[in-house]
Amino acid sequence: MPPVMPVLALDIGGTKLATAVVTPDGRTHGFLSEPTRKERGPEEVIAHLFDLGHRSLAAAEVAEVSAVGISCGGPLDAARGVLTGPLHLPGWIDIPIVELTRRAFGVPAVLENDATAAVLGEHRYGAARGAEIALYLTISTGVGGGAIIDGRLHRGAAGNGGEFGHLTVRPGGRLCQCGRRGCLEAYASGTNIAERARDLLARDDRPSVLRHEDPVRAEHVSRAASAGDVLAREVWDETTAVLSQAVTDLVNVLEPHVVVLGGGVTRSGALLIDPVRDAVRTGALPPAAAARVTLADLGDEVCVVGAAALAFDLAETLHV
């Protein structure tokens, strides 16, 4: 068999664009990341993305790839390869990104939701490698995720499964971006951790180091909580409580081998994962409670590596 060619991976985030050439061992080459500056609109941003992709190819000294994988936040139509109106990219309506990419690079392309791509990346190359049943939660600006069941990605009837961020953890609670109340995302996303901290500071006059931050961000809250700040600790404890509740419920429902937590908020490390791990061990039903709870392996490169996993699958299907 001829050696498997590398693929090119493109990630369209609300804050950053990222591109890399990925080899079949999951390693990235010529990884580049630059600010999205989404105010420029889709045409300019996409031109920038493609330029970045070509620069990754040059940096990796790769002349040919078999396919291109693209990851982006939803809503999107993966089957048609169209960005229908991603929440993090206002004004991007019905952008045929797969067709544009195919024209720009001259090879087949595939599109997937970024959280789904991340699940695939962690399952094929990262912390969930080899697991038959795995759950992945990304805790970042929002909360997303996905499940691997019997070694395969669970997509759902129309490809929208794995919305772990919208599990109801506080019925009637905080309003979520999805329009419902009490979702996990409305408490545990970086945006909402910061917002809950700001709300508490406004209605509580106890001293807190967070009063020196403007605006308060999630990483300020975790740092202050770790240093013993009482107010920050309250905000953080509620974060880990709702996350623990959601993960314990998921473990009971699906009895996974492993639960992987990734995304920017997990940079807080043990402060976030230890309470969740303890909650699963003591709160889930045995033997599901034996599920391993671990941090993601792939860090900031997870979306490009996940998009690459999809591109390899596409190339294999097409015998490229």
> Whole-number minimum distance, CB 83 to Zn ion, in Å?
21
Name the residue nearer to Zn ion (CB basis): 123 or 166: 166
Number of residues that bind Zn ion (CB under 5 A): 5
**Which range binds Zn ion by CB under 5 A, 147-155, 164-172, 246-254, 257-265?**
164-172
> Whole-number minimum distance, CB 170 to Zn ion, in Å?
11
Query: Does 82 help bind Zn ion (rule: CB under 5 A)?
Result: no
Name the residue nearer to Zn ion (CB basis): 20 or 188: 188
Q: Distance between CA 144 and CA 10 in Å, rounded?
A: 19
Backbone dihedral angles phi then psi of residue 129, each to the nearest 5 degrees: -55, 130
Site string for Zn ion, 108-147 (x = CB under 5 A): ----------------------------------------
**Which range binds Zn ion by CB under 5 A, 178-186, 194-202, 260-268, 289-297?**
178-186
Query: Does 166 help bind Zn ion (rule: CB under 5 A)?
Result: yes
Name the residue nearer to Zn ion (CB basis): 176 or 200: 176
Query: Does 167 help bind Zn ion (rule: CB under 5 A)?
Result: no
Pair 161, 181: CB distance under 8 Å:
no
> Whole-number minimum distance, CB 167 to Zn ion, in Å?
9
Pair 74, 86: CB distance under 8 Å:
yes
Query: Does 178 help bind Zn ion (rule: CB under 5 A)?
Result: yes
Pair 8, 56: CB distance under 8 Å:
yes
Q: Which residue has the tokens 């490390």?
A: 269
> Whole-number minimum distance, CB 178 to Zn ion, in Å?
3
Pair 194, 202: CB distance under 8 Å:
no
The sheet with strand 16-22 has its strands ordered as: 28-35, 16-22, 7-12, 68-72, 109-113
Token couple for 213: 């931050």
> Whole-number minimum distance, CB 87 to Zn ion, in Å?
12
Q: Which of 183, 188, 247, 280 lies at the binding interface for Zn ion (CB under 5 A)?
A: 183
Q: Which of 17, 127, 176, 296 lies at the binding interface for Zn ion (CB under 5 A)?
A: 176
Name the residue nearer to Zn ion (CB basis): 101 or 189: 189
Token couple for 238: 């509620």
Pair 98, 70: CB distance under 8 Å:
yes
Name the residue nearer to Zn ion (CB basis): 166 or 277: 166
Name the residue nearer to Zn ion (CB basis): 116 or 189: 189
> Whole-number minimum distance, CB 200 to Zn ion, in Å?
21
* The residue count for the chain: 320
Name the residue nearer to Zn ion (CB basis): 184 or 293: 184
CA-to-CA dists, residue 159 to 112, 116, 162, 206, 285, angstroms = 10, 10, 9, 47, 29
For residue 295, give every residue at least 6 positions away whose Cβ sits within 8 Å of its Cβ, in sequence order, or none.
127, 260, 261, 262, 266, 269, 273
Name the residue nearer to Zn ion (CB basis): 152 or 180: 180
Name the residue nearer to Zn ion (CB basis): 149 or 178: 178
Query: Does 164 help bind Zn ion (rule: CB under 5 A)?
Result: no
Q: Distance between CA 129 and CA 59 in Å, rounded?
A: 28
Please list the residues that pair with 145 across neighbouring strands.
Answer: 137
**Which range binds Zn ion by CB under 5 A, 137-145, 182-190, 204-212, 268-276?**
182-190
Q: Distance between CA 7 and CA 313 in Å, rounded?
A: 10
Q: Give the residue from 51, 38, 43, 39 showing the smallest Cα distance to 12.
A: 38
Task: Point out which residues bind Zn ion (CB under 5 A).
Answer: 166, 176, 178, 180, 183
